[in-house]
């Protein structure tokens, strides 16, 4: 049996720092203290980058010893997803990291997966950010029971975390308070497991919560009474939030991270504020020409991870979500952090481009809640928006069969949705709304809310 990494005093110290101290260190911390912490984090990851072949080539001619503060970050060039993909395996492996390195790949939701390296210490910060969220939601991590319904396909982030971290800390944690289950299991089986486990918190994808909520509304899962639902992986639209909250009788909040980030970049508190994990990341926002935008302006996310000893991600553009960053904001939840002004509105690659030149991120084109708000119905239990062509959009609705003859008719709902999207898209776009029996998930991935078959390049060329 392999020894636990915690027998190494340096690893043990880092583990304790990331899981015991880090979760509470945003609370009551002075701006100067936090700035010093962030600067130290940047210097650490720059040192790792200096020993990583991809970055050595990228930074040729740059004196990395002069990168001392976050304000120095703009000296460094942006790094793309394609560069990380092209550098794997040897180019993304830091010097001396081979023995402890664990390969990990992204979901590939925007095409070919990105492969890179992580390690036990880096993974421990993912645990720390999760414990921080439980703390903000009023749950004691030592007693709260948490269920993680994720994608445990080998090599994906959830499976790597379980194998590379959770299973290696059994000497200090029996894991009786954590349930891990695969989102691709039959939904009744998943709800059955939750019914036995009785979690206080559940984290999963929007579509998984939709299916579980449907069963919950049918009377299954009597003992599933969580205090909070944490939604990640895809954009959470307001209709799905209302549908799921109605079923479970508790709040549903967003948590936001990526495989490359190694921990959650931001999370939504119970007041509805999207707090950035400012001690763990530096987030910049750029426009289509990769120029920095002003505070509060929506653009493409550029991420620098301020921790970890696996593959560095410094000024990384590969996540490519749309955000608008506000400076430090005081919140009634007690935290004072920079925030995402409108949350995360989706990936640039899942946006809808219209013939008149308008571009809608996924979240702002998911208007089912607006379309049906006066009908006060949850008869639609899942939906999906598919842009077939730049002037042709298909809206697919899954109805609750047991509710078909209750409340507003299926025909009325379809007509309301069609009119709402015609108003949104304009007269040059053909809107088709129809009922489907199910919305299939792609192989190894949950079903997305928005699918666009028009690429950004095709869309802009057609518009021009």
What is the model's pLDDT at position 1? 46
The CATH number fitting domain 351-463, selected from 3.40.190.10, 3.60.70.12, 3.30.300.30, 3.30.565.60:
3.30.300.30
Region 353-378: mean pLDDT is: 88
Residue 247 has pLDDT above 60, yes or no: yes
Distance separating alpha carbons of residues 304 and 281, to the nearest angstrom: 6
- Quick: pLDDT tens for 319-330: 989 999 999 989
8 A C-beta contact, residue 359 and residue 353 = yes
Helix (H) or strand (E) holding 31: helix 31-50
Q: Whole-angstrom Cα distance, residue 113 to residue 212? A: 28
For the stretch 201-239, pLDDT in tens is: 999 999 999 999 999 999 999 999 999 999 998 888 999
pLDDT band per the 50, 70, 90 thresholds, residue 115: very high
List the chain domain ranges.
Answer: 5-340, 351-463
Percent of the chain scored above 90 by pLDDT? 74
| More confident site: 454 or 170 | 454
Assigned fold of 5-340: Rossmann fold (3.40.50)
pTM summary value: 0.90
Q: Tens digit of pLDDT for each residue in 371-421?
A: 998 999 999 999 999 999 999 999 999 999 999 999 999 999 999 999 999
- Give the span between the Cα atoms of 312 and 230, in whole angstroms: 27
Residue 316 pLDDT > 60: yes
**Residues in a beta bridge with 359:** 353
């Amino acid at each position: 049996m392999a020894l636990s990494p915690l027998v190494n005093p340096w690893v043990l110290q880092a583990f304790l720092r990331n899981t015991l101290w880090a979760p509470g260190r945003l609370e009551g911390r002075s701006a100067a203290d936090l700035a010093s912490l962030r600067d130290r984090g940047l210097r650490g990851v720059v040192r790792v980058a200096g020993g990583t072949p991809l970055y050595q080539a990228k930074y040729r001619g740059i004196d990395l010893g002069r990168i001392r503060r976050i304000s120095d970050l703009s000296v460094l060039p942006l790094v793309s997803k394609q560069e990380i993909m092209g550098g794997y395996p040897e180019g993304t492996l830091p010097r001396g990291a081979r023995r402890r390195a664990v390969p990990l790949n992204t979901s590939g939701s925007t095409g070919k997966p990105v492969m890179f390296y992580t390690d036990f210490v880096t993974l421990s910060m993912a645990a720390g950010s999760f414990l921080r969220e439980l703390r903000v939601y009023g749950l004691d991590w030592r007693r709260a029971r948490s269920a993680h319904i994720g994608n445990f396909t080998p090599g994906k982030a959830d499976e790597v975390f379980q194998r590379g971290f959770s299973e290696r800390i059994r000497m200090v944690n029996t894991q009786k308070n954590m349930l891990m289950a695969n989102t691709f299991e039959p939904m009744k089986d998943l709800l059955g497991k939750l019914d036995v486990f009785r979690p206080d918190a559940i984290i999963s994808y929007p579509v998984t919560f939709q299916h579980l909520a449907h069963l919950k509304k049918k009377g299954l899962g009597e003992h599933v009474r969580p205090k909070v639902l944490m939604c990640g992986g895809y954009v959470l639209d307001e209709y799905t939030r209302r549908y799921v909250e109605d079923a479970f009788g508790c709040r549903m909040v967003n948590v936001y991270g990526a495989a490359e980030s190694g921990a959650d970049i931001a999370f939504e508190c119970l007041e509805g504020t999207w707090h950035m994990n400012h001690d763990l990341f530096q987030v910049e926002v750029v426009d289509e020409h990769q120029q920095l935008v002003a505070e509060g302006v929506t653009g493409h996310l550029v991420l620098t991870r301020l921790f970890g000893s696996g593959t560095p991600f410094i000024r990384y553009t590969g996540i490519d979500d749309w955000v608008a960053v506000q400076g430090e904001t005081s919140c009634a939840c007690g935290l004072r952090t920079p925030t995402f002004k409108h949350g995360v509105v989706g990936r640039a690659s899942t946006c809808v481009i219209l013939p008149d030149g308008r571009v809608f991120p996924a979240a702002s084109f998911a208007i089912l809640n607006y379309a049906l708000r006066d009908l006060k119905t949850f008869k639609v239990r899942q939906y999906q928006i598919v842009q077939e062509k730049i002037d042709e959009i298909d809206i697919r609705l899954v109805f609750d069969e047991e509710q078909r003859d209750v409340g507003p008719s299926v025909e009325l709902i379809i007509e309301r949705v069609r009119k709402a999207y015609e108003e949104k898209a304009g007269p040059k776009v053909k809107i088709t709304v129809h009922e489907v029996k199910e919305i299939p998930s792609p192989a190894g991935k949950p079903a997305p809310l928005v699918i666009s078959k028009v690429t950004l390049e095709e869309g802009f060329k057609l518009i021009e």
